[in-house]
Structure formats: structure tokens, C-alpha cells
Amino acid sequence: MTLNNILKNILNIQKKIEVNQLPSQGFFYKNDFKIWIKKAKIEDIVEYEYQYEKEDLGLVINRVKKIVEKNIILSEGYTYYDIKSIDIVFLFFEIVKFTNNKQINITFYNDILGKDDTIQFNHQTFNYAKLSEETMKSYNQIEKEFLIDGFRYSIPSIGVENSLTKFLISKSYQPNADDYNHYYYDFLYFLGNKSTLTFEEIDNLIQIFNFDLSDDDLKKIKKIVKTFSNIGKYSLKKDQKIIDVTAKIDLEKIWK
């Protein structure tokens, strides 16, 4: 950490986020990837809350992404598009807490106590996915990915996810648009550290993963993806109880 960053941390201008405390647990970031957050500006919050439509999930997600993009600082050589997509909401919550200077408390019914209870959202309460010892043997510390059955598994970046979204929007105006609702997009998990995809690359990957791979390889891919399916699920743990976060946090009033 540079002297400038140390001073900013001391002065409470920015806060360093440990990548191993993100939902991805830092598995898929290079060793020199560092991330800091800063406090959101009033105009950022006003824009987020303006005409909030809780029924429009796409709009809500875009506003969450925009808050994160505007209020993060990354080590040299990296951009917002290198962040793993499953970490975006966690970073958003961290920015909200840092901006408001208070914890995000979640109320849930504790059936052990027989009454409502509360839990804070933070890395100490987050229910991180646990990978088996066998799975961890396939982890490549240098490449930051898992090598299983000849396939290199990694979590997609937000840049790759955005590239696919733009691609699908462009295809939605074509006569064969419905075809894209039935394709498999598991190639997202086998792109290493890519932070973006061209439309041509996506077309090629759709062809390979939907038509060119053998049935045996497709079974391997689906098994690998299922192995990691719990990574990125947002839940908290209190004692032995697991609390789902997605249904408990009111994103409309989160800045209040």
C-alpha cells in the first residue's frame, strides 16, 4: 500500500477491502489485485434513489453497478471490468456502510429463540461457500483458476457479463432472437481473467459450447459448474441458522 493510500485510510477517506473477504474469496484474482472503496457522493445517492422501481430488477442492478463503478479504486493495471461479477453486490453494501458510517442490520425470525432477531452484514457473518479438499487440490495458485477434467474454471468478470448482456440485447431485435433463450452460456466460467468479449468471440463460444463439444465434455462442464454453484450465494450465518440476504435487504431504502 502506498503512503498516499495509507493516509487516506487513516483519514477515513477510503477503505481497503480484503479480496479474500469477498464472496469469491479471492480465488480468482491475481496477487497484485487490490481494491479500495470510497464514500458515495450525495449526487450518486440521489441518482440511485431517483424514481426507484423495485419491480424493475434490471434497473436496480444497473444502479448498484454504477455506485460500485464510481466508488472503487483498484491497483494499477486493473479496471472495474476486472471485478468478478459475484462480488459487486458485496462491494455495494460495503460502500453503503462506509458512506453512512453504520452497519447494515438485517431482521429475521429466529425460530430457536421464537422471535425476531437481527444480524449485521459483514465478512464475519457472511456464509462463504466451502469447497471440498478434493476440489482445492485442483486449484492453480499462479493462474488463479481450478483445473478440472481438462477445463479451467473461473468466475466471470463484470466486464464479461456486461459484454454478454449487450450481445443479447443486440440479438433481441433479430428474427431468430428466441434461439438465444435456449442456448447454454456456461462458457462464462471458462474464460480465465478476461475482462471483456467481442460479439464475434461470443458467437464463437456459443457455437463451441452448444454444438461442437462432445456430450462427454458437456457433462464434465455441467458437473464442474455445479461444484461451484454455491459461490456467490448471498446468505449470512448466525449460530447454526442460515439467513438469506436477497429477500431481507430493502435496496430502495438502504441509504436511509
Is pLDDT above 60 for 10?
A: no
* CA pair distance 105, 119, nearest whole angstrom: 6
User: By three-state DSSP, how is residue 64 classified?
Assistant: helix
pLDDT at 6 over 60: no
**Residues whose CB is less than 8 angstroms from the CB of residue 118 and which lie 6 or more positions away in sequence, other chains included:** 105, 106, 107, 108
Q: Give the confidence band of 214 by pLDDT, cuts at 50, 70, 90.
A: very high
For the record, the C-alpha cell of 221 comes out as 462442464
Digit-coded pLDDT (tens) for 153-198? 999 999 999 999 999 999 999 999 999 999 999 999 999 999 999 9
Comparison of pLDDT for 232 and 213, the residue scoring more: 213
Long-range CB contacts for residues 177-184, cutoff 8 Å, separation at least 24: 183/210, 184/209, 184/210, 184/218
Q: Each residue of 26-39: pLDDT tens digit?
A: 999 999 999 999 99
3-state secondary structure (DSSP) of residue 240: coil
Q: What is the pTM of this model?
A: 0.91
Among residues 83, 82, 97, 89, the alpha carbon closest in space to that of 38 is found at 97
Give the distance from CA 240 to its chain's centroid: 25
3-state helix, strand, coil in the chain (%, to 5): 40, 15, 40
- Residues 64-93 have pLDDT tens digits of 999 999 999 999 999 999 999 999 999 999
pLDDT value for 9: 57
| Residue 143, C-beta contacts closer than 8 angstroms, at least 6 positions apart | 152, 192
Q: Looking up cell 471458462, which residue turns up? A: 190
- The answer on pLDDT for 58 being more than 90 is no
Exposed e or buried b per residue across 236-245, where buried means at least 16 C-beta atoms within 10 angstroms of its C-beta: bebeebebeb
pLDDT-derived band at 11, boundaries 50, 70, 90? low
Please determine, for residue 111, whether its predicted confidence score (pLDDT) is greater than 90: no
Q: What is the reported pLDDT for 51?
A: 63
Percentage of residues of the chain with pLDDT beyond 70: 94
Predicted pLDDT of residue 110: 80
